[in-house]
Structure 1
Amino acid sequence: MLPGEAPTPAQVALKGLCPRCGAPTLFRGWTEFASSCRVCALDLSTFNVGDGPAAFLTLIIGAVIVVLAITVELSLSPPFWVHMLLWIPLTAAAVVGSLRLAKGALISLEYRHAAEEGRIKRP
């Protein structure tokens, strides 16, 4: 990334960069956004990615896990506790692990496209 150039959504998501200046100041915790960038003072509290990333990740990763669980069941027929031991932690780790990436990408796209809440024009 060149100086003065805004980072791509992938860079923001992977490295936790500020979508304006590229400083690694996007997150305060694992998935919690900082209130503002310490370098360029971009107010990150105005962005709202909501629960969209969590919902989509749960559905997508859930579908993958179900296919894997069915495949393991049909090919190996392990006891029920093996399924519990495998799929519950794997699902939780996959959703939480990818949540940071999804939230970073969405906030980057929201900044890049100046997305705002829809408003109805009144006559």
Structure 2
Amino acid sequence: MQLPPPSDGAFRWIMKCGWKGLCPRCGQGQMFKSWLEVSDKCDSCDLDYRFAAPDDGPAFFSLCIAAFPLAFFVVWIQVTFDPPWWVHLLTSLPVMVLGTLLPLRPIKGWLVASQFVNRAQQHGTQASWARLNGTDPAKNDFDQ
């Protein structure tokens, strides 16, 4: 079982696991069971992914990182060339859709791997989550 290296290598580990969709504990199993759906457990080390709660983070980062600059590109096309509407339909729409959808999976992978490596958990919720999931409240969710 491969564990993430301490401090200086943790960022690299998060980026590698998130980009490739690998388990953040062992680096072997798949994190996703479909394009954006996180697996229930790692098929290699049995890491339970119930801790993973990236919520709207991937969409937010995709919009901020990709859509914002792409919108400037679309406006530049309009101002510079003043094309008819169908040109935007054939160029701008696909660029915007692909530019915002393609980064979703790696961003979600990075967020899940980051949660695991950094043991990110909302403060004061461990006992509630243990009751809800039927796990041992004395153990950390990341170690079960």
Are 1:112 and 2:110 matched, yes or no? no
Partner of 2:95: 90
| Aligned-partner Cα distance in 2 for 1:43–1:5 | 15
TM-score by length of 2: 0.74
Partner of 1:19: 24
Q: Which moved more, 1:53-62 or 1:91-100?
A: 53-62
CA deviation after TM superposition for structure 1 residue 79, in Å: 0.8
| Aligned-partner Cα distance in 1 for 2:93–2:99 | 10
TM-score by length of 1: 0.86
Provide runs of 4+ in structure 1 moved above 6 Å: none
CA deviation after TM superposition for structure 1 residue 83, in Å: 1.2
| Aligned-partner Cα distance in 1 for 2:64–2:93 | 14
Q: Which of 7, 10, 14 matches 2:15? A: 10
Distance 1:97 1:67, change over 3 A: same
Amino acid of the structure 2 residue aligned with 1:4: Q
Are 1:99 and 2:97 matched, yes or no? no
Is the CA contact 2:29–2:43 (under 8 Å) kept in the aligned structure 1? no
CA deviation after TM superposition for structure 1 residue 44, in Å: 0.7
Structure 1 residues 69-80: aligned runs within 5 Å: 69-80=74-85
Partner of 2:58: 53
Is the CA contact 1:36–1:42 (under 8 Å) kept in the aligned structure 2? yes
Cα deviation digits, residues 54-112 of structure 1 (max 9, x gap): 12212332211211012112222211121122222222212221000100001111001
CA deviation after TM superposition for structure 1 residue 115, in Å: 0.5
Is the CA contact 1:15–1:24 (under 8 Å) kept in the aligned structure 2? no
| Aligned-partner Cα distance in 2 for 1:21–1:38 | 10
Partner of 2:131: none
Structure 2: which 5+ runs fail to align?
Answer: 5-11, 126-144
SS of equivalent residue, structure 1 residue 8: helix
